[in-house]
Amino acid sequence: MKFPQSVLIWGDMSSAGVGPLCFIKSRVSAGIYQILDHFMVPPTGELYGDADFIFQQDLAPAHTAKSTKTWLNDHGITVLDWPANLPDLNPIENLWGISKRKMRDMRLSNAAELTAAIEASWSSITPQQCHRLIASMPHHIEAVIDTEGSRTKY
């Protein structure tokens, strides 16, 4: 396609599997980031039960806004401290890559087809894939330490 379709998505994962996707129709701001009410809180119970968890996100402005921090605090959600300028070590980035590779050869002609393909790709991700990605993180961290914060093969 000369001008390929694109969509903005929020998703989450844990070693127990993936949560539901949220397709966002506007740019992400602190106000829109309150999608967590519907797309994070309910699935968290399904993915973790009563177990504790730590939420990892990058330092995008919507993620670090005062209202977002207040919302996370009010809901008792612990957020992983994340230093600026650190290579992205969030396992969900690798999961997005897996999802994209599953759709690589698809010929999609509109946003609706793209959305359906993304949903199908995402729902085919197994808990085992998620667990392997999370279990691989110590190796990723070690590689970043070895390169003193420079690029790694991950």
The secondary structure of 61-76 as a DSSP string is HHHHSHHHHHHHHHTT
Among all chains, which residue has been given the structure tokens 């993915």? 47
What is the four-CA torsion angle of 40, 97, 136, 149, rounded to 10 degrees? -100
Instruction: Tell me the domain boundaries of the chain.
Output: 8-146
Instruction: With both helix axes pointing from N to C terminus, report the angle between 91-102 and 111-123 in degrees, rounded to the nearest 10.
Output: 120
CA-closest candidate to residue 128, choices 102, 95, 90: 95
**Res 1: pLDDT:** 47
24 beta partners: 8
pTM of the model: 0.76
Walk along the chain (154 residues) and give the pLDDT tens digit of each residue.
Answer: 454 567 788 888 888 889 888 888 777 666 666 677 777 666 666 666 677 788 888 778 888 888 888 888 888 888 888 776 666 688 888 899 999 999 888 888 888 888 999 999 999 999 999 999 999 989 988 988 898 877 787 6
- CATH code, 8-146: 3.30.420.10
